[in-house]
């Protein structure tokens, strides 16, 4: 190796070990920002973003050639052997479909495509189209074979959509990679799917802002957490307006319309982001009474509910440490 080549190699090695500022990239249709503080090397950030690429290549419903595209194309025809990522997330999704009584349903794909909320051709479907599509949504029909790692949708037209749980899985993977690289603390933000892992250098908790569902760049208050994920589902994330009505992207598998339960957003605080992501969507669809019951039945999980009447309620484990910062809202017992 000549002197120039050796110099270049040393520069590359040196730069990849050097701490760099927080990094952002576009994945999962949203901006993903990672801050690993004093242990964030370019190489470590890149290995996390590479992992996001892998997860998208397996689990995206918006991309050709993914496991999800293959399973959907083979609906009513044959089971499809899938990657471990896909099997793990689908298995977890099925568990949450069962525990939420189908409020969370990973076979929601045909309805998601019918509305296409978040894309240019989003529109209110005719009632006939909804009536035709709804029977294709039923998690009880989903067949998983763990020995073969295969997934089967038994009826033509059925479609998997794991958009409500995959960002949580990806956040958990990011934290796993960072911890394996001996990075003790950091904040991962995948478009509202936040994981604040470890504790701050001075030992104090992280202060995480809970988004104001009605106003961009505004928060309703701050939750204090240590080593937790905070995941929010809300009406503001993706929506379109028609005839003075707002139609958001969290759909009710019961009537096929955007879920209307008097809530603007639901936030889950948990140890695993996969759980937080699935539950934030499930609880939004269930509404306060049934959602609160579900959360109280699972140890170690807390929730914050923001209502259309601008009130905020929370489970016992979080509401004590929640600080309201927005005077337009009020905390209710």
Which residues here bind ligand FAD, judged by CB under 6 A? 28-29, 56, 59-60, 62, 104-106, 108, 112, 118, 161, 163-164, 166-167, 192-193, 233, 237-238, 249-251, 253, 277, 280-281, 285
3-state secondary structure of 167: helix
In Å, what is the CA distance from 186 to each residue of 39, 50, 103, 189? 9, 18, 32, 10
Smallest gap from residue 198 Cβ to ligand FAD (A): 23
Smallest gap from residue 224 Cβ to ligand FAD (A): 22
Smallest gap from residue 38 Cβ to Mg ion (A): 31
Q: Where are any strands of DSSP class E within the chain?
A: 23-27, 30-35, 80-81, 143-145, 150-152, 186-190, 193-197, 206-211, 219-225, 228-234, 239-242, 245-248, 263-270, 302-307, 311-314, 322-324, 330-331
192 binds, among Mg ion, ligand FAD, none (CB under 5 to 8 A by kind): ligand FAD
CB 331 within 8 A of CB 320: no
29 binds, among ligand FAD, Mg ion, none (CB under 5 to 8 A by kind): ligand FAD
Find, among 78, 75, 60, 63, the residue nearest to 158 by Cα: 75
Smallest gap from residue 179 Cβ to ligand FAD (A): 22
Q: Six-digit token pair at 264?
A: 């603007």
Q: Which is nearer to ligand FAD, 225 or 250 (CB)?
A: 250
Q: Which is nearer to Mg ion, 39 or 238 (CB)?
A: 238
d(CA 255, CA 80): 30
> Which neighbouring-strand residues pair with 57?
none
Cα radius of gyration rounded to whole Å, the chain: 21
How many CA atoms lie within 13 Å of 57's alpha carbon, on the beta-carbon side? 8
161 binds, among Mg ion, ligand FAD, none (CB under 5 to 8 A by kind): ligand FAD
In Å, what is the CA distance from 333 to each residue of 199, 296, 305? 29, 15, 11
Q: Which is nearer to Mg ion, 36 or 61 (CB)?
A: 61
62 binds, among Mg ion, ligand FAD, none (CB under 5 to 8 A by kind): ligand FAD
Of the ranges 57-65, 122-130, 164-172, 248-256, which one interacts with Mg ion (CB under 5 A)?
Answer: 164-172
Interface mask toward Mg ion for 262-281; x: CB under 5 A? ---------------x--xx
Q: Which is nearer to ligand FAD, 106 or 221 (CB)?
A: 106
240 binds, among ligand FAD, Mg ion, none (CB under 5 to 8 A by kind): none
Q: In what order do the strands lie in the sheet with 80-81?
A: 80-81, 150-152, 143-145
Contact with Mg ion (CB under 5 A): which of 103, 108, 164, 214?
Answer: 164
Smallest gap from residue 142 Cβ to ligand FAD (A): 12
Smallest gap from residue 319 Cβ to Mg ion (A): 22
d(CA 249, CA 257): 9
CB 172 within 8 A of CB 273: yes
Smallest gap from residue 192 Cβ to ligand FAD (A): 5
Q: Which is nearer to ligand FAD, 183 or 266 (CB)?
A: 266
Q: Which is nearer to ligand FAD, 162 or 223 (CB)?
A: 162
Residues 6+ apart with CB under 8 A from 74: 80, 152, 153
Q: Which residues bind Mg ion (CB under 5 A)?
A: 164, 277, 280-281
């Amino acid at each position: 190796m000549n002197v120039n080549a050796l110099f270049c190699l040393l520069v590359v090695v040196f730069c990849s070990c050097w701490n760099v500022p927080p990094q952002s990239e576009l994945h999962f249709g949203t901006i993903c920002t990672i801050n690993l503080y004093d242990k964030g090397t370019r190489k470590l950030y890149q290995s996390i973003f590479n992992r996001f690429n892998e997860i998208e290549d397996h689990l995206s419903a918006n991309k050709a050639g993914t496991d999800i595209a293959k399973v959907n194309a083979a609906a009513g025809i044959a089971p499809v052997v899938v990657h471990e990522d896909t099997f793990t997330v689908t298995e977890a999704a099925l568990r949450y479909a069962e525990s939420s009584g189908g409020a969370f349903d990973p076979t929601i794909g045909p309805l998601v495509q019918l509305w296409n909320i978040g894309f240019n051709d989003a529109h209110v479907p005719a009632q006939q189209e909804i009536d035709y599509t709804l029977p294709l949504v039923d998690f009880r029909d989903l067949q998983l074979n763990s020995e073969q790692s295969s997934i089967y949708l038994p009826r033509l037209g059925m479609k998997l959509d794991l958009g409500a749980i995959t960002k949580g899985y990806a956040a958990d993977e990011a934290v796993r990679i960072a911890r394996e690289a001996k990075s003790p603390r950091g904040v991962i933000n995948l478009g509202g799917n936040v994981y604040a892992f470890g504790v701050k250098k001075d030992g104090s908790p992280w202060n995480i802002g809970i988004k104001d569902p009605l106003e961009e760049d505004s928060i309703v208050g701050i939750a204090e957490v240590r080593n937790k994920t905070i995941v929010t589902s809300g009406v503001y994330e993706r929506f379109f307006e028609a005839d003075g009505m707002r139609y958001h992207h969290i759909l009710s598998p019961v009537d096929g319309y955007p879920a209307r339960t008097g809530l603007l957003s639901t936030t889950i605080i948990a140890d695993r982001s996969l759980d937080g992501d699935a539950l934030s969507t499930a609880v939004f669809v269930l509404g306060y009474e049934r959602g609160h019951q579900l959360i109280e039945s699972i140890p170690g999980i807390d929730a914050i509910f923001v209502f259309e009447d601008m009130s905020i309620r929370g489970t016992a484990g979080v509401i004590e440490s929640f600080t309201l910062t927005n005077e337009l809202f009020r905390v209710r017992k």
